[in-house]
Amino acid sequence: MTQVKAPRGTQDMLPADAHKWETIETTLLNLAKCYGYSELRTPVFESTELFERGVGDATDVVQKEMYTFEDKGGRSITLRPEGTAGAVRAAVEHSLLNDALPLKLCYLTSCYRYEKPQAGRLREFHQFGVECFGTGEPIADAQLIVFARRLFDCFSLHDIRLEINSIGCPQCRKTYHAALREYFNAHKAALCRTCNERLEKNPMRILDCKSPECQKIAAGAPSILDYLCEDCAAHFERVKTYLDSSDIPYTVNPRIVRGLDYYTKTVFEFVCDDIGAQGTVLGGGRYDGLVEELGGKPLPALGFAMGLERLLLLLEAKGFCFAPPAKPAVYFCTLGEKARALALSLCDELQLDGYGAELDLMGRSLKAQMKYANKLGALFTVVIGDDDIAGGILNVKNMQSGEVTQAPLDAFSETFENLVLQQTILEDFGVEDNG
């Protein structure tokens, strides 16, 4: 029978890598809590209308990349291609924006886009994202960027560069769009087919085209910074001032436009050259019109999203030292049915106390059990036979030092806890326990 494999553009998270993902996710969520963000979880699929209105029907995401299908009720459903639209929908639907503001939400989520799979870019991928609702103050933009910078600092990733820009508000963008159309119309014949389509719908998207010829033409295009209205220009200057006061280095890049239509004013990216073409590890900005677009009251908002697969690629490329997978604290080797029953009970007791405890589930010989305990890297082993049960004493062997400690059966948990504590103290102080 033919083997069934994972769909193209997806990947399994295998047990050997689980501790890496756990480290990343725990670090991100813990720092988010320090900045006042609470976790949100939304459905993996939403009404297609949410993304057409929220992301923008002229974007590549909506036009080319969404996984959209009709359900059995005849409704158009889409697997989420990004996290912001769903977060806004949930905040509006559940009246979260009627409480004290700002509302700060964060999430770890899977996303789905149909595009060519490559390193750091999959059809099913994972994001960490944050959204801050209710404030239009430039200091909120600055703190969001500082927060993003500190995420990388947590992983000792200090050479990632920050690029920022302002793409203005709908009023100043209207003037800028007219200038772009005038410029690109003079080069229309040399633009790719996609960019010719963008020329009328959203000419700013041409600045983000990956075609070398389009990039060459875009290099001479007018800069959005020359078309900002007074309010948008002042907002951007204050953001830069706050970043300067926080000692956050940055480069102003007027070509940053972001790939989604809902962004306004401040946009930013954290970029690294160590993971190939997919250099943007985190991107975000302000989206002051999205809440109203999705049925809420007019409310400013901002946020960012980080691709976890790209972050993991970067950490591995930089040689980040992940803590090794947890090893069982104890492995019980058993001889006979009474020993198995006792080991099952002791395992349960220790597991409830938070210790990793294992016992033989395969009916192996004693020699094979000891070999398996070594393979697992168990810190201690306990061999249980009829004589041990009858005598009420179990021998606990330290697998590193070889030292054996007798533990009364009626106080086994307490004795074992002390042994683990002693071993932890030795390891914390770098002392080798040689017996």
Using CA atoms, how far apart are residues 175 and 251, in angstroms rounded to an integer? 25
- Please report, rounded to a whole number, the percentage of residues in the chain having pLDDT higher than 90: 76
Q: Could you report the per-residue pLDDT of 389-420, keeping only the tens digit for each? A: 999 999 999 999 999 999 999 999 999 999 98
Whether the predicted pLDDT of 435 surpasses 60: no
- DSSP of 220-269: TSPPGGGS--HHHHHHHHHHHHHHHHTT---EE-TT---SSTT-EEEEEE
pLDDT for 116 equals 84
Q: Give me the mean pLDDT over the 163-180 stretch.
A: 92
Q: Give me the mean pLDDT over the 217-222 stretch.
A: 92
Whether the predicted pLDDT of 381 surpasses 50: yes
Whether the predicted pLDDT of 145 surpasses 90: yes
* E strand spans, 66-138: 68-70, 76-79, 103-112, 124-133
pLDDT for 276 equals 58
CA angle 177, 179, 183 (to 5 degrees): 115
- Select the more confidently predicted residue: 367 or 205: 367
Using CA atoms, how far apart are residues 155 and 315, in angstroms rounded to an integer? 8
Question: Which residues of the chain are in CATH 3.30.930.10 domains?
Answer: 15-169+229-317
Q: Which long-range contacts (CB under 8 A, 24 or more apart) does 279-284 make?
A: 280/310, 281/152, 281/160, 281/306, 281/307, 281/310, 281/311, 281/314, 282/148, 282/151, 282/152, 282/306, 282/307, 283/258, 284/144, 284/148
Q: Could you report the per-residue pLDDT of 243-281, keeping only the tens digit for each? A: 999 999 999 999 887 656 678 999 999 998 776 555 889
Domain 330-421, classified CATH 3.40.50.800, yes or no: yes
pLDDT for 128 equals 98
pLDDT for 331 equals 97
Q: Is the peptide bond before 298 cis (omega within 30 degrees of 0)?
A: no
For residue 282, give both structure tokens.
């985190």
Work out whether strand 280-286 and strand 301-307 pair parallel, antiparallel, or are unpaired: antiparallel
pLDDT for 5 equals 95
- Please report, rounded to a whole number, the percentage of residues in the chain having pLDDT higher than 70: 95
Q: Give the other-Cβ count within 10 Å of 362's Cβ.
A: 7
Domain 15-169+229-317, classified CATH 3.30.930.10, yes or no: yes
Task: Please report which confidence band the pLDDT of residue 208 belongs to, taking 50, 70 and 90 as the band edges.
Answer: confident
What distances in angstroms separate CA 393 from CA 245, 351, 362, one per listed residue?
65, 21, 25
Using CA atoms, how far apart are residues 71 and 221, in angstroms rounded to an integer? 44
3 state SS of 132:
strand
Whether the predicted pLDDT of 375 surpasses 60: yes
Task: Please report which confidence band the pLDDT of residue 433 belongs to, taking 50, 70 and 90 as the band edges.
Answer: very low
pLDDT for 143 equals 98
pLDDT for 57 equals 63
Q: Could you report the per-residue pLDDT of 255-264, keeping only the tens digit for each? A: 887 656 678 9
Q: Could you report the per-residue pLDDT of 35-69, keeping only the tens digit for each? A: 999 999 999 999 999 998 877 765 667 778 899 99
- Select the more confidently predicted residue: 270 or 205: 270
pLDDT for 58 equals 59
394 contacts 406 by C-beta, under 8 angstroms: yes
Name the nearest CA neighbour of 295 among 45, 89, 75: 89
3 state SS of 293:
helix
Name the nearest CA neighbour of 214 among 200, 194, 243, 230: 194
- DSSP of 45-73: EEEHHHHIIIIITTSHIIIII--EEE-TT
**Mean model confidence pLDDT for the chain:** 91
pLDDT for 277 equals 52
Q: Give the other-Cβ count within 10 Å of 344's Cβ.
A: 14
Q: Could you report the per-residue pLDDT of 62-102, keeping only the tens digit for each? A: 778 899 999 999 999 999 999 999 999 999 999 999 999 99
Using CA atoms, how far apart are residues 157 and 258, in angstroms rounded to an integer? 23
pLDDT for 426 equals 61
Question: Which residues of the chain are in CATH 3.40.50.800 domains?
Answer: 330-421
88 contacts 301 by C-beta, under 8 angstroms: yes
pLDDT for 259 equals 59
